[in-house]
């Protein structure tokens, strides 16, 4: 792992401070951009994992052959897909 100069420094932990007690430095330049991109990716990853899990559950229910449960799972999975699409636009 390559660390940028001035970025990703192990900060001392202090009691009684917000953010878990860690001193947080504002990153600038390309290090700041990479830090913001990483946080954005982690926020988007949660939505993507939920979508994939819903589609996998739909496939498993389809294989089992429970028609009412399959319909409910399809509605939930399709709603999640629409919700993610609406978040993108």
Name residue, tokens 């951009």.
33
Name residue, tokens 């498993």.
60
**List of long-range contacts for 78-83, beta carbons under 8 Å, 24+ apart:** 80/50, 80/51, 80/54, 81/51
The residue among 64 and 16 whose pLDDT is bigger is 64
Q: Give pLDDT tens digits for 33-89.
A: 888 888 888 888 887 888 888 888 888 998 988 889 988 888 888 888 888 788 778
* Distance separating alpha carbons of residues 32 and 25, to the nearest angstrom: 10
CA-based nearest residue to 55, from 42, 74, 69, 68: 74
């Amino acid at each position: 792992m390559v660390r940028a100069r001035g970025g990703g420094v192990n900060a001392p932990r202090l009691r009684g401070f917000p953010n878990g007690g860690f001193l947080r430095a504002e990153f600038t330049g390309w290090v700041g951009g990479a830090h913001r991109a990483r946080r954005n990716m982690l926020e988007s990853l949660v939505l993507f994992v939920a979508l994939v899990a819903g589609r996998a559950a739909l496939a498993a229910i389809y294989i089992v052959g429970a028609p009412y449960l399959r319909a409910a799972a399809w509605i939930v999975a399709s709603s999640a897909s629409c919700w993610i699409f609406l978040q993108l636009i």
